[in-house]
Structure 1
Amino acid sequence: MNFSEYQIQAMTTDQIPVVEGTELIVPLLGLVGEVGSLMTEYKKHLRDGDAHKLFNETVAEELGDMLWYLANFASKFNLDLEEIAEKNLRKCHDRWGWRKSVQIDSKATAYIFDNDFPEHESLPRRFEVEITELRKDNSVKMKAFIDKQQIGSDLTDNSYSSDGYRFHDVFHMSYAAVLGWSPVMRSILKRKRKSNPLVDEVEDGGRAIAVEEGISALVFTYAKDHGFLEGVSAIDYQLLKTIKNMTSHLEAAQCSLGDWEKAIMMGYEVWRQVDKCRGGTVVVDLDARSITYQTEKSNET
């Protein structure tokens, strides 16, 4: 039996009086009551253990009653329970799917937003960025280099206190690595897609750059309140939803919540090491969807 069939048949057993307001509040109260009953059964299970012989049977019954009330409430708002279930599964996969290594591998080249553009307008598939710190007078600045050529501008924390935000380009590198998206890195690397004026204006222009910088600052505030994500295994769902909303008009809208979580987590893992060592080499690999840190620049040729 599928959810839609269950929902139809469940409504044929509806005994709730058709009184204004009652037809909605009763299933809600019923659902709350069944949750309470389920908690009571679990309390008995914790107390009595195996002596609570009917635990599984009783729990199944309580869950069935909860399902009936859910179906009843959905029906009265003309909602399809099967459609709700399918959307919920998509939401869960979008949020948590990246944690399964098989899914990560299968999506390794999922986001190549510049595939149809010439090489000089495409993000490099792999590059190394050497980050150094320069202290002069009372100022501390970050410099970044690729093949000994400086990229971007000198950056400071832009803060009354030293908090390491001068190294925040690491986050843009991580977005590029994991998401295949970073208007900021395109600008820094001079890889804007000028051959398509509309894409250049919308996807690589000032507004998109401002959105990405806003995301970087927003997440940094969150991370600062959570030990810069050290030992943290998941990002707040509402924060990820906010990021999705901020990028809803851009090509990055294709990136899932899980993709964003992975990009943020990997970026901060590298950022913490860069901040601790006051520099180092960051390896960005778009094909592997990874960003890694090494204390000394690779000697590979």
Structure 2
Amino acid sequence: MNSSLGLNDYQLLASRSDRTRNKGNGFDLPVLGLVGEVGSLLSEVKKRQRDFAAIVGYKQTVLEELGDTLWYLAIIADHADIKLATLAGGGHGSDLAFSALQPQHTLPMNTPSAQFEKTLLRLTAATGELASTVDTSHGDKSLLQTRLAGVLNRLVQVANESDVLLEEAARANLQKTEDRWPQERVYPPLFDQDFPPDEQLPRTLEIDIYEREASNDKRYVLQSCRGLFIGDRLTDNIMEPDDYRFHDVFHYAYAAVLGWSPVTRALLKRKRKSKVRVDEGEDGGRAIQVEEGLATYVFGVAKEFEFFADQKPGDLSLTLLKNVRQFAKGYEVNASPLWLWEDAILQGNHAFRYLRDNRRGRIKLDVEKRSLSIEELPQ
């Protein structure tokens, strides 16, 4: 590991991903977040006690929950203009290394101990005291600092008893927030950049999508590219119509923004056959099923939120994006950052809303610019 991270350095880096400032009433939003994270930590321990199978991924989950808890604590202190190191007893204006908080290593914890449960409850109590302070004494900075210090002290105890280094949790938290809300957006290399041109996704492409009515009064969607029909006639395939027949636009968004879409490769006959393992493993039937399942999952969530009509980059649920990436685990696209997944989802839903309202449109893909747009399709 690099030289020990300082508490104040962490607080400064954490504040870059703060989306709670100037929202809500004073400290209310980050305090609610802190209470929620401590509750999640308690819930994880309860599951571990109830079900031994929950041991899988337990320590990683605790590491993440501790990191999130620390993030909210740092943000509350930042809003109050209090340095995080000050809460740990650091001198005025000076930083304090995370390593100074846990100078001794602890033995691995195989199961949550009774002492660990008590420490978690004390952390919960300290968080409750902080919440009551914020609720009743917004202007009492001295009392707020005391309560914040109490939470940090309990958090260090929890980290010790769960065999987690708080610095490791802090670094993992910074990595996660950068994955979601980066300071600079740098597009990763395209997955097919080293393949022959005829096996690459087309770098620019136009696809016409429009609805037709059959003789049985059923509506279906047709697609054409360069004058040729592609794909099948699509219907909603559900009891209550929801315009899912336009859903291929999501696959095109994945292709344009992520540079990944086994479905689009199959439609355009752009599978990477020069490498058998890639052809079968990344572009084959199973990968296509994964993408179709992913598109269905996101569609179901988006439908509950008017297909993200009011969402901007940075607004989508972190949980949704993590679930989406987990869905594609084992495939090359799993390496794509969360912010890029969000771009693909938002651009795809923008195009879907246009098609839902107009019943026809011309999709334009620009893979180099990671862009999918839609415009009016001439009659």
Task: State the TM-score, normalizing by the size of structure 2.
Answer: 0.68
| Count of aligned pairs between the two proteins | 275
Alpha-carbon distance in structure 1 between the residues aligned to 2:201 and 2:179 = 25
| Other structure's SS at 1:153 match | coil
Alpha-carbon distance in structure 2 between the residues aligned to 1:171 and 1:217 = 10
CA contact (8 A) 2:116 2:162 kept: no
Greater RCO, 1 or 2 (C-alpha within 8 Å, sep 6+): 1
| Other structure's SS at 2:364 match | strand
Higher strand fraction (1 or 2)? 1
> What's the CA shift for 1:112?
0.5
Match of 2:242 in 1: 163
Alpha-carbon distance in structure 1 between the residues aligned to 2:175 and 2:137 = 33
The structure 1 residue matched to 2:174, chosen from 70, 75, 89, is: 89
Match of 1:61 in 2: 146
Mapped pair 1:133 → 2:211:
yes
> What's the CA shift for 1:184?
0.4
Match of 1:49 in 2: none
Alpha-carbon distance in structure 1 between the residues aligned to 2:162 and 2:326 = 26
Match of 1:262 in 2: 343
Consecutive unaligned residues of structure 1, counting only runs of 5 or more, are: 12-19, 47-51
Alignment of 1:246-285 (within 5 A): 246-285=327-366
Alignment of 1:78-227 (within 5 A): 78-97=163-182, 103-104=184-185, 106-107=186-187, 110-137=188-215, 138-227=217-306
CA contact (8 A) 1:280 1:293 kept: yes
Q: Runs of 4+ in structure 1 displaced over 6 angstroms?
A: none
**More deviation in 69-78 or 209-218?**
69-78
CA RMSD of aligned residues (A): 2.1
| Other structure's SS at 1:128 match | strand
Letter in 1 for 2:304: D
The structure 2 residue matched to 1:35, chosen from 127, 141, 147, is: 127
Alignment of 1:4-23 (within 5 A): 4-8=99-103, 21=113, 23=115
In structure 2, do the counterparts of structure 1 residues 21 and 143 end up closer, same or farther at CA, with 3 Å as the change threshold? closer
Alpha-carbon distance in structure 2 between the residues aligned to 1:30 and 1:160 = 51
Task: State the TM-score, normalizing by the size of structure 1.
Answer: 0.85
> What's the CA shift for 1:204?
0.2
Alpha-carbon distance in structure 2 between the residues aligned to 1:34 and 1:77 = 18
> What's the CA shift for 1:267?
0.6
> What's the CA shift for 1:22?
5.2
Alpha-carbon distance in structure 1 between the residues aligned to 2:248 and 2:135 = 51
In structure 2, do the counterparts of structure 1 residues 21 and 145 end up closer, same or farther at CA, with 3 Å as the change threshold? closer
Alpha-carbon distance in structure 2 between the residues aligned to 1:28 and 1:161 = 47
> What's the CA shift for 1:264?
0.9
Alpha-carbon distance in structure 1 between the residues aligned to 2:301 and 2:113 = 42
> What's the CA shift for 1:160?
2.7
Alignment of 1:231-250 (within 5 A): 231-233=310-312, 234-250=315-331
Alpha-carbon distance in structure 1 between the residues aligned to 2:197 and 2:211 = 31
Mapped pair 1:292 → 2:377:
no
Identity among equivalent pairs (%): 38
CA contact (8 A) 1:74 1:81 kept: yes
In structure 2, do the counterparts of structure 1 residues 21 and 157 end up closer, same or farther at CA, with 3 Å as the change threshold? closer
CA contact (8 A) 2:206 2:363 kept: yes
The CA deviation string for residues 72-121 of structure 1, in whole angstroms up to 9 with x for no partner, is 11111221110011001111222233xx6xx33x32xx140111110000
| Other structure's SS at 2:181 match | helix
Consecutive unaligned residues of structure 2, counting only runs of 5 or more, are: 1-95, 107-111
Match of 2:136 in 1: 44
